[in-house]
Structure 1
């Protein structure tokens, strides 16, 4: 198994981060790694996503929401034919750091026969780009008082 793990601290509440992270319709405006996501945000539901890799081709796939804890965790799983061939479990966790600061942990666990081909630093760069873009989007959003 291979784990990709990145993190970023965002100057906003977990609620504000969650609102942007779960607004799939806004992904094209800010998300360089997953520029498209559509579907029902409910455990067990299928979501269509497009994954963009720096210097690579866009890849469309359908993932299944496996965890949804408002303002805490969003998780989905995608697989290639069978989990034995390839499975990616993508988890986005929000850790409150006081009232107006949040740490986002952006992690994916890759398993299966083809997981060994994801051994370069490219996935980390893509996840870090997504983290930076989310931080920028949330911190620039007008606060509602």
Structure 2
């Protein structure tokens, strides 16, 4: 198993972060990591996901919504090569004060291919961090 994670303090209420995060049709405008995420954000549904990584072609895959707690959490599970590389991606919004929250992401990678995709996982870490920063900018300027 390999894991990447990152978090950022955002100076707006958690509800505002949730609104921006759940407006996946707008990801193309601001999200450098998850450039497409289509499908209804409902437990059990499949999402069509496209991720962008530095110096690599976009990667497309299906991801199943495992858990949604409106305003707080999203958990998805996807496979790039069925059984060979699986990812579990969590998004968490934690209220610190009325107008401040922490947004966190964690992706756990499992499967045989984790032995061979170290550089790709490091690239994913770079864009996960960029996504967090761009989410912060978008939320704080809106």
**Equivalent-residue separation in structure 1 for 2:39 and 2:19 (angstroms):** 16
Preserved contact between residue 2 and residue 116 of structure 1 (Cα < 8 Å): no
Task: Compute the TM-score of the two structures, normalised by the length of structure 2.
Answer: 0.94
1:139 to 2:136 alignment: no
1:86-101 to structure 2, matched below 5 A, reads 86-101=85-100
After superposition, the C-alpha distances for 1:103-134 in whole angstroms (9 at most, x for unaligned) are 11111000000122332432211100100110
Cα RMSD (Å): 1.1
Could you say what secondary structure the match of 1:80 adopts?
Answer: strand
- Deviation, 1:81, is 4.5
Gaps of 5+ in 1: none
- The equivalent of 2:43 in structure 1 is 43
Greater fraction of residues in strand: 2
* Counterpart position of 1:128: 129
2:93 is paired with a residue whose SS is strand
SS of the equivalent of 2:34 reads: coil
Aligned length: 140
More helix by share: 2
Counterpart residue number, 2:23:
23
Q: Which runs of 5+ in 2 are unaligned?
A: none
